[in-house]
Structure 1
Amino acid sequence: MRAPYGTWKSPISAESITRSANSIYEIIVDPSTSIVYHVEGRPSEAGRSVLVESRTGRDVAGQGWNVRTGVHEYGGAPATVQSGIAYFSHIKDNRVYEVDARQSGATPEAVTPENPAHRFAQICIHPAKTNILVSVFEDHTIDQPSSVVNSLCLINTNTKSVSTLVSGSDFYAFPLFSPDGDRLVWQQWSNPHMPWESSQILIADVSLTDSTSDPALKLSNITTVAGDANSNISVGWMSWASNETLLFLSDESGFVNPWKYDVSSKKSSAIFPEPVREDFANVMWSLGMFPYAVVDPQGRHGIFTAWRDGRNILYLVDLESGTRKQLDSPYVTVESMRTVSKEKNQVVFVGGKVDASPAVVQCTVTLGKSSPQVTFETLNLPGEPPFAKELVSVPKGMTLKVPPDGEPLHIVFYAPHNPQYEGSSVDAEKPPCVLNVHGGPTGMAFQDLQSRIQYFTSRGWSWLDVNYGGSFGYGRAYRDRLNGQWGPLDTEDCITAASILASDQYNLIDPSRTVIRGSSSGGLTVLTSLSLSSNLNAFTAATSLYGVVDLVALMKETHKFEAHYMQVPGTPEEKEKILKARSPVNFADRIKKPLLVRFPAFLQGDIDRVVPKEQAQAMYDNIINAGGTAEFKLYSGEGHGFRQEAHQRDALERELDFYERCLGLKEQGKL
């Protein structure tokens, strides 16, 4: 069968996608029992997150409990489990709760005082005194970005008290006791830096006091492991190989590589004899992801993820010799890796394939052979995609050469694909294209199965993800291209990518029917392309999902974590002038093409704490007042992203309908 591109009939519906849209955020392993748990997002249950025992599928806490944290607004690491007891953050009241993870229907009990202004994440349990917890702590008593206080806190579950343990920096992450409990390490950084720009790792000796008193733990001999507040080196992602050896990652070489710290000599060193030109971690937008795990009792071997050509690969690394061997793996994304059993050489992670939903995957590796053997077992029952594998358009990672100097530009391309169609019934027709701009802006377009993309490609659309300059996974130099150029550079990269794919060299897309969409910072790219770019006619239609439109207002209103993100050089007056000149809200009169703006509110009310909804409202009003065309939809009860099933479905259907109307595809499909 043949039909015009973009008009193909597809069995993939928005309803079927969102009905099966449960997501796995991260993995937790009980070190005492080796039982694996995961945090699962459920759009069908008003978007709540649930702690689940992975192998059995049993919910640890029942209806009404939302295992999520608002630390840094993006959250992550809301729960931990040890000796069968789970501790988790309940986002409805922000308290930490304790529950017996071994019993179905057990009632959680609060272990922190009632105070909705307090937030907790990355809870760490002392190995011997399990009533002693250390946690990342965020205090919103004065709820203005400059007044929010971050620290490491001590939680005593016996006295149900919270006290400050470490303070003075703007942000903290990854508190972690050594296996014997005698030391504590953590990561810290301060504005104007993000953790992937400049951060430090510190270590301290731990002494316990009477556990019935407060504080029940004290720190001494605080020492810097790696990093410097005045340097541009990022360090983090710590893990103990043994009581004497701390592992971490550093981008000192220009790529994020594994390092280790010897407690006795107090010296840090790179694990690889020569730097590897691959990044071994994501940038830390979320606190819950982790990129490697120790895999043997001696602490000599670890399984590490790394990024190559936009996909994750797995390495078995000898932590003493620095040798590495790539493992055969079908997973293109590997996240939240944790040790399951050092005796059995097992780790677990969230694994994503190009044609299957992400799953909780247990990996077992055989050591002591020249070619290590690896096996994978799926622990949970992942929701199957609401369509057959034959419908999947497989992503193709590509590196374009940008003239005149041939600078690399990384993209991911999806061709139209539907087994019911052989192609277009229109001679020499090229398909319409959705160009997607990822958020961050230092994010990345992943290549695991995403039903939203297949929703379009199965209808005869092509899809183009652009990992523009600034995206992670390609080394620090590529990511740093965006410094001081947020808005202009990412926008021009997207226009260039579309132009190259439409050229005779590739001939893959129709330049007159290419639309652009983006969420969060990607929304800024979308709106900049229509109002401030080198080619205001590059795209036929556009969708901004909770996107940035006013950089001046954003720097004043956004949350603390990003309050100084992507700043430009100069005096305050010079900065404001540059940001104003790069804000699409001031140039709405240039936007003449239809624009669909979607901007949700925050889950706790009608507020998005990352990009306030007022930005979208101002942009919409300015476009209408300038005589342009725009559509606006506000989703109540939503924050920075859509978590509820009905809203996810409505947003997807609206977007497709909008494009079909703009390109006249509905009329074409009736011919």
Structure 2
Amino acid sequence: MAKKSAPYGTWESPITADAITQDAVNIADVLVDPVTSTIYHLEERPSEEGRGVVVDTRVGKDVFGSGWNARTGVQEYGGAAAIAYGGFVFFSHVADNRVYRVKPGEEPEAVTPDNSNYRFADFTVHPKHPSLVVAIFEDHTKPEPANVVTQLCVIDTDKKSVTPIVSGADFYAVPRFSPSGTHLAWQQWFHPDMPWEGAEIRVAPMTVQDGVLHVAQAKYVAGKHKEISVTFPFWSSDDLLVFTSDESGYQNPWTYSLSTNKIGPLLSSVVQEDFSEPVWWLGGAPGAPLDSDTVLFVAIRLGRSVLYIADMRNRALQEIESPYVTVEHIRYLGTDQVVFVGGKTTERPSIVQATFLPPSSRVTYATLKSSATPADASFPPSIISQPTPLAPKMPPNDELVHVVYYAPTNPEYSGSSVPGEKPPCVVNVHGGPTHKEHQGLDWIKQYFTSRGWAWLDVNYGGSSGFGRQYMRVITTLTADFERLTGKWGVIDVEDCVRASQTLAAPPYSLIDPKRVVIRGGSAGGYTVLAALVNFPSAFAAGTCNYGVSDLAGLVHDTHKYESYYLFKPIGGTPEEVPEVYKARTPLFHADKIKSPLLIIHGKLDPVVPYKQAEQMAEDVRRGGGKVEYVLFDDEGHIWQKAENIKSSLEKEVGFYNEVLGLKSA
């Protein structure tokens, strides 16, 4: 059958907003019961208002009924809401913030006091006394960010009591018992650091007497406030703790031995790849032991996941063939076996069991559970636009910027019916700003590319996964390498503008420079607004999802985790550099926005108050700009509910079509 042609952006596509949201699930975590070897996973279901559900992976059965929601509000972004041990699942129920214990098929039982001001996450169960569970404990009795108390606690699930055991730091993450339960390791950090800027690993001896957990004096292991980030500790044996450190400039594997007190890099030389990512959501795991001498790790190369086996005895690394461009939540299943969440460029993420066959390190992968929906199977594989990572050097200083390009792709179309036409392009800005855009299948991107749009992800200066010099907002290196220090609202904006201009010009000539739109969420939404303010002719339109428009207002109104976050990327506090805050706050320059703007926000957003979006829309309108404002009364930060995901997507593409005058053939 002959292929059709039509102007770019007007192609008909089977990828509808209904199709990609109906019955969709997000795999948020994978859990392994170390006693029974049962594998569970945590699903987030937009069709059930974003409810988090623990599922027995192999049998495909929910662990609890429809009234339960395994989510946590720790650090507001949450993560690590559940753990499995000894035939039980322990989980945080976000409706009342209590921790519950449940045996699959039975009714959950509360194991913490009835106090909604208490929040819990990131659990570890004592291997010899499984009624004792250590967790991150946030006390919001005094809800002001400065008064929220974060500690490590022990939950006695029999007595239903909570007892703080470690305190003094501003934040904690990744508490982990050693295999025998004699030691506890964890990560901690202090304001004004974010954990990827400076953090510490500590280890403390543990004893249990008469059912009570006692913690001895903690030992500092590695990391440095403001300078060195260390993270994701896990035990490969009772003696050896494994973690990652960016002391070399890249997050590489390190080890600490209890018996010898030796601390140092696991590998004999630095690998110029990051073996872990910033802790935005709790519960990540970039590695797991295969046996006492080898560890499986995931690293990031050009924005994609790469699997390695690290030989700790010989301090050597071997790359493992893998079809997955995203690998997350690696969990130990048994000798030479792990499970993880793996995503491909052509498939939604799956729960994957990997079995390694020594001595040649051959590996077999088995899909245990896919997040694909029935609608996915109806889309022809040829409709999927493949990601093309690029790293062009941008003028005027030939600075390298990492981008990922997706070409218009639809097997029904041969191209445009307009001679010489280049496609319109969506420039997508990730949040963070120290985050990155992944290259796994994302049907929202395909929604656009299958309609004849190009799509460009910009991993601007400050993005993670490309080493400390590219990402860190502060470092001990010279200022020449500090891409984001004092430059948020400048370097991210310039990189997005220059990336679109570069790909529109020779030798690329991939997109139409007059039909480029920009979109982003959270910190990415701020970049959208700043770009429209400072480069009013660069983009034909913009969409700001739950974005920041008032920097000083965010400092005063945001939650504890990010309450000091802006100071380094902006260059100081509002009191220290008021002129910088004024210059970079879009709200003060709304009259400069002339490109049509769509603002979408959630009324329940605890990270960026919706009043910011409301005021921004009002001020753009007052300045003569065109703005549309959508407020979801039942959403927070990042859309959770299917109807809102669908509505926001349809609204966005309709907005662009109107601005650009695109009409289906």
**TM-score, reference length from structure 1:** 0.95
Partner of 1:552: 552
Amino acid at match of 1:93: D
User: SS of the counterpart of 1:67?
Assistant: coil
Q: 1:32 aligns with which of 29, 32, 35?
A: 35
Find out whether 1:269 has 2:264 as its counterpart: yes
Partner of 1:599: 601
Q: Percent identity?
A: 48
Contact 1:483 1:566 in 2 (8 A): no
Partner of 2:160: 160
Partner of 1:640: 637
Find out whether 1:360 has 2:351 as its counterpart: yes
Q: 2:300 aligns with which of 307, 311, 331?
A: 307
Q: Displacement, 1:571?
A: 6.6
Of the structure 1 ranges 193-202 and 559-568, higher mean CA displacement relative to structure 2 is found in: 559-568
Partner of 2:406: 414
Q: 1:617 aligns with which of 594, 614, 618?
A: 614
- Within 2, Cα distance between the matches of 1:124 and 1:96? 13
User: SS of the counterpart of 2:575?
Assistant: helix
Q: Displacement, 1:381?
A: 4.0
Q: Displacement, 1:90?
A: 0.2
Find out whether 1:331 has 2:320 as its counterpart: no
Q: Displacement, 1:572?
A: 5.0
User: SS of the counterpart of 1:228?
Assistant: coil
- Within 2, Cα distance between the matches of 1:340 and 1:437? 36
Find out whether 1:490 has 2:529 as its counterpart: no
Partner of 1:235: 230
- Within 2, Cα distance between the matches of 1:658 and 1:379? 40
Q: Displacement, 1:389?
A: 1.3
- Within 1, Cα distance between the matches of 2:156 and 2:288? 28
- Within 2, Cα distance between the matches of 1:331 and 1:642? 26
Amino acid at match of 1:581: A
Deviations 1:302-352 (CA, angstroms, capped at 9, x unpaired): 11000001100100110121111111100000000001111xx11010000
**TM-score, reference length from structure 2:** 0.96
User: SS of the counterpart of 1:665?
Assistant: coil
Find out whether 1:628 has 2:625 as its counterpart: yes
User: SS of the counterpart of 1:374?
Assistant: strand
User: SS of the counterpart of 1:259?
Assistant: strand
Contact 1:20 1:383 in 2 (8 A): no
Deviations 1:24-75 (CA, angstroms, capped at 9, x unpaired): 0111100111111111010111110100111111101111100010000000
Find out whether 1:649 has 2:651 as its counterpart: no
- Within 2, Cα distance between the matches of 1:41 and 1:331? 21
- Within 2, Cα distance between the matches of 1:288 and 1:175? 10
Amino acid at match of 2:415: G
Contact 1:271 1:321 in 2 (8 A): no
Partner of 1:501: 503
Deviations 1:362-388 (CA, angstroms, capped at 9, x unpaired): 01111223xx21110001143242522
Deviations 1:621-668 (CA, angstroms, capped at 9, x unpaired): 1111112211011111111011111111111100000000000002xx
Question: Superposed, which structure 2 residues align to 1:99-178 within 5 Å?
Answer: 99-101=102-104, 104=105, 106-178=106-178
Contact 2:347 2:372 in 1 (8 A): no
Q: Displacement, 1:483?
A: 2.0
Deviations 1:84-115 (CA, angstroms, capped at 9, x unpaired): 111100000000000013xx2x1000000001
Contact 2:176 2:186 in 1 (8 A): yes
Where does structure 1 differ by over 6 angstroms across 4 or more consecutive aligned residues? Answer: none
Partner of 1:424: 416
Q: 2:342 aligns with which of 336, 341, 351?
A: 351
- Within 2, Cα distance between the matches of 1:33 and 1:350? 20
Q: 2:218 aligns with which of 202, 205, 222?
A: 222
Partner of 2:571: 569
User: SS of the counterpart of 2:612?
Assistant: helix
User: SS of the counterpart of 2:201?
Assistant: strand
Partner of 1:373: 362
Q: Displacement, 1:15?
A: 0.3
Find out whether 1:401 has 2:393 as its counterpart: yes
Of the structure 1 ranges 571-580 and 318-327, higher mean CA displacement relative to structure 2 is found in: 571-580
Partner of 2:461: 469
- Within 2, Cα distance between the matches of 1:403 and 1:626? 32
Amino acid at match of 1:5: Y
Deviations 1:581-638 (CA, angstroms, capped at 9, x unpaired): 1000000111122110001122xxxxx1111101100101111111221101111111
Find out whether 1:6 has 2:6 as its counterpart: no
- Within 1, Cα distance between the matches of 2:317 and 2:573? 47
Q: Go from structure 1 to structure 2 and tell me whether the alpha carbon gap of 1:572 and 1:661 turns closer, same or farther (over 3 Å shift).
A: closer
Question: Superposed, which structure 2 residues align to 1:44-55 within 5 Å?
Answer: 44-55=47-58
Find out whether 1:247 has 2:242 as its counterpart: yes
Partner of 1:659: 656
Partner of 1:605: none
User: SS of the counterpart of 2:463?
Assistant: coil
- Within 1, Cα distance between the matches of 2:503 and 2:42? 39
Question: Superposed, which structure 2 residues align to 1:173-188 within 5 Å?
Answer: 173-188=173-188
- Within 2, Cα distance between the matches of 1:573 and 1:399? 38
Partner of 1:382: 371
Structure 1 residue runs of 5 or longer lacking an equivalent are 603-607
Number of residue-to-residue matches in the alignment? 647
Structure 2 residue runs of 5 or longer lacking an equivalent are 473-482
Deviations 1:142-195 (CA, angstroms, capped at 9, x unpaired): 111111110001111121111111111100011111101111111100100001
Q: Displacement, 1:391?
A: 0.7
Q: Go from structure 1 to structure 2 and tell me whether the alpha carbon gap of 1:646 and 1:67 turns closer, same or farther (over 3 Å shift).
A: same
User: SS of the counterpart of 1:661?
Assistant: helix
Amino acid at match of 1:18: T
Deviations 1:446-472 (CA, angstroms, capped at 9, x unpaired): 000000000000000000000000000
Q: Displacement, 1:543?
A: 0.2
Partner of 2:475: none
- Within 1, Cα distance between the matches of 2:359 and 2:152? 41
Deviations 1:463-491 (CA, angstroms, capped at 9, x unpaired): 00000000001000000211211111100
Contact 2:197 2:227 in 1 (8 A): yes
Partner of 2:476: none
Contact 2:33 2:87 in 1 (8 A): yes
- Within 1, Cα distance between the matches of 2:370 and 2:300? 27
Contact 1:550 1:580 in 2 (8 A): no
Contact 2:395 2:498 in 1 (8 A): no
Q: Displacement, 1:576?
A: 2.8
Contact 2:41 2:56 in 1 (8 A): yes
